[in-house]
Amino acid sequence: MSATSPVTTRRKPDARALAILLVGLAIGAAVTASFLGLSGPRAVGPGSPLVGRQAPELQLRTLDGRFVTLSGLRGRPVWMVFWATSCQMCRAQIGQAAGVSREAERRGVEIVLVDLGESPREVRAYLSAGRPRALVTLDPLGAASARYGLYMLPTHVFVDSHGTVQRVVVGALARPDLERALREVSR
């Protein structure tokens, strides 16, 4: 006698059910983000463990291959923008940086754009259309972002000339808010 095994057929997932599940998850994520205040700009400010403390040291490679350290910029206020070319909100902020870069320069504020996880080629291609007056740096493995405890892009970190974090803002900054932050950090 030969033993026969029952034949099981695998059922394909229903596309409609899968679509409903994905829409439900997206709505749930949006509601949760809204409830937690993660949608839109959010000034972390005094609630951030970084504010009032020395900014964590960073060593980042620039697009032209040089290394820059945060401590090497001490003596000048610094506005860091953690971003990625794939992030739509980040793209708008890079445009804002270009728009206020002369004002930042006039106030002595160094702008450091920290691209998260992308190749120099991708960043150069994106910035070829218009580049703010800024140090463009790369964080290919996310080490710098991890040191700053980032959970969302873009994130803005304003550091005074003594190396102390003055403000952390998660999300997009409107131009008036950005100009105010530049004034405050350059005092």
Domain ranges of the chain: 14-40, 44-185
The whole-number pLDDT of residue 98 equals: 87
Query: pLDDT tier at 39 (50, 70, 90 boundaries)?
Result: very low
Query: pLDDT tier at 184 (50, 70, 90 boundaries)?
Result: very high
**pLDDT of 134 above 60:** yes
Residue (of 116, 112, 92, 115) closest to 104 by Cα position: 112
**What is the arithmetic mean of pLDDT over 18-42?**
39
Give residues with Cβ within 8 angstroms of 110, minimum separation 6.
Answer: 73, 76, 77, 78, 79, 104, 135
Query: pLDDT tier at 13 (50, 70, 90 boundaries)?
Result: low
Span 105-125, pLDDT tens digits: 999 999 999 999 999 999 999
d(CA 84, CA 126): 10
d(CA 147, CA 144): 5
The whole-number pLDDT of residue 33 equals: 37
Q: How are strands ordered across the β-sheet holding 67-69? A: 42-43, 165-170, 155-159, 78-83, 110-116, 135-139, 59-62, 67-69
Q: Which CATH number fits domain 44-185: 3.40.50.300, 3.40.30.10, 1.50.10.10, 2.40.50.140?
A: 3.40.30.10
Span 48-92, pLDDT tens digits: 789 999 999 999 999 989 999 999 999 999 999 999 999 999 998
